[in-house]
Amino acid sequence: MIGPTVKELLLENQETFLIPAKNVANVMYQNPLDHCLLVLTKVGYSKIPVLDKGDRFVGLVSLSEVVEKMIDLKEIDMEKLNGLTVADVMQTHVSVVSENWDLEEVLHLLVDLPFLPVVDDQQIFKGIITRKEILKAVNHMSHELERRNLLLSKTDPILEKQKIV
């Protein structure tokens, strides 16, 4: 369990954690894969969310997966994308969190994922929580914790003596 003081400090700027959906580049799963390639290259992100027509989150698509579809031994050919859509390459088994995300879960999932999609109870895509924003919070907490609090080791004899614990 994350301690209450650490948690409170990590969450002090939690309103900055969510990058709202309107600021996150995305593609639709029915989009042609060549369109997706152009979007990915233009935005410069290696991986972006895939939505359906109802703005529901359905997966993630990465530039390397699209390029892989174009490469055949030592040749690359955009024509290989003809007839393919985002749905043909996207990853669908993706961890997401709800709008009432739990800090412990978010910190745990971000060890393995560069960002976490946030969805509501209808699976509507609300935005992402990124490692960048969490690391800002970690910096804040690391600097403030011992500035604001006195820490006594639980094995320190002073506690016994002062009858604090």
Write out the residues near its own copies by the rule CB under 8 A.
Answer: 1-7, 10, 34, 37-38, 40-41, 44-47, 62-64, 67-68, 70-71, 74-78, 107-108, 110-112, 114, 131-132, 134-136, 138-139, 141-143, 145-155, 158-159, 162, 164-165
**What count of other Cβ atoms lies within 10 Å of the Cβ of residue 90?**
22
CB of 99 to its own copies, least distance (A): 22
CB of 133 to its own copies, least distance (A): 9
CB of 71 to its own copies, least distance (A): 6
Q: 116 forms bridges with which residues in the sheet?
A: 129
**What does the alpha-carbon distance between residue 119 and residue 115 come to, in Å, rounded to a whole number?**
13
Q: Which residues, including other chains, have CB under 8 Å from residue 33's CB and lie 6 or more apart?
A: 66, 69, 81, 84, 85, 86, 88, 89
CB of 58 to its own copies, least distance (A): 21
State the amino acid at position 56 in one-letter form: R
120 or 152: CB nearest its own copies: 152
7 or 56: CB nearest its own copies: 7
95 or 139: CB nearest its own copies: 139
Q: Are 134 and 110 in contact (CB under 8 A)?
A: yes
**What does the alpha-carbon distance between residue 44 and residue 42 come to, in Å, rounded to a whole number?**
6
